[in-house]
Amino acid sequence: MARIGGTEITIELGDITRSTTDAIVNAANCTLLGGGGVDGAIHRAAGVKLLAYCATLGGCRTGEAKITPGFKLPAKYVIHTPGPVWSKSHAERCDALLRNSYFNSLSVAEENGCKTIAFPSISTGIYHFPLERAAAIVAKTFAEYFTANPESCLERVTMVCFDANTYSAYEKAFAERFD
Ligand code: AR6
């Protein structure tokens, strides 16, 4: 566990659809119409009303974030953000877009009064963003966000990792940045 100002940053191993945080983040695609990976799991757990709601939103650009109700999920809200598809030849652009996905999701959570939020490891599955590189960007982005917003209403931010390898990568990146 790390702390930046009044916000706790934690890492868990588990399934984000079970998170009881005010908001969970979905590693979506630009259509916002569902897909595989964590996106598929969130839509299955939330029920068909989520897809109907998403269909009214007109999609979402990479790195931006849009909020919906959580419907049948324990979380009140889902914040949908398409992360970048990894491209080695556009690595720095991908880094910036991944940062935007986390930063903008935190801003949207804040605008909606959330105190707790859970993130999956955006872009490191089907979108093939290198895991260690992503984890370092996430640690840097959380530090940047909470340093710029010391009065944030977000009390706890949790990275929910689906496998041990992902958990270790975030544990290492957070230890290097925060300890
Ligand atoms: N809880 C937490 N993490 C999960 C869960 C879960 N239930 N299920 C998978 N993960 P991915 P991306 C992890 O592929 O790379 C979709 O088709 C997974 O192990 O879900 O951003 C979208 O529609 C990995 O660590 O997202 C897009 O088209 C992480 O979540 C595309 O995939 C992200 O893997 C987005 O690809």
pTM of the model: 0.98
Taking only Cα atoms into account, the Rg of the chain, rounded to an integer number of angstroms, comes to 15
Ligand 1 pocket check for 38: Cβ under 6 Å = yes
pLDDT tens digits, one per residue of 76-125: 999 999 999 999 999 999 999 999 999 999 999 999 999 999 999 999 99
The Cα 32–Cα 58 span in angstroms is 8
For 2-178, give the CATH class. Answer: alpha beta
Dihedrals phi, psi of 169, to nearest 5 degrees: -65, -40
Enter the tokens of residue 106.
């935190």
Asked if 10 and 138 count as a contact pair (C-beta separation under 8 A), the reply is no
DSSP string spanning 18-58? G--SSEEEEEE-TT-S--SHHHHHHHHHH-HHHHHHHTTTT
- Sequence ranges of the domains in the chain: 2-178
Pocket test for ligand 1, best of 18, 26, 97, 126 (most atoms within 8 A of CB): 126
**What band does 1 get if pLDDT is binned at 50, 70 and 90?**
confident
Reduced DSSP (H G I as helix, E B as strand, rest coil) percent helix, strand, coil of the chain, to 5: 45, 20, 35
Beta carbon of 63 within 6 Å of any ligand 1 atom: no
To the query of whether residue 39 is one of the catalytic residues in this protein, the response is yes
Q: Do 110 and 65 contact (CB within 8 A), yes or no?
A: no
Best substitution site from 38, 44, 170 to test ligand 1's pocket, by max atoms within 8 Å of Cβ? 38
> Longest C-alpha distance within the chain, in Å?
44
Question: What are the tens digits of pLDDT across the range 122-169?
Answer: 999 999 999 999 999 999 999 999 999 989 999 999 999 999 999 999
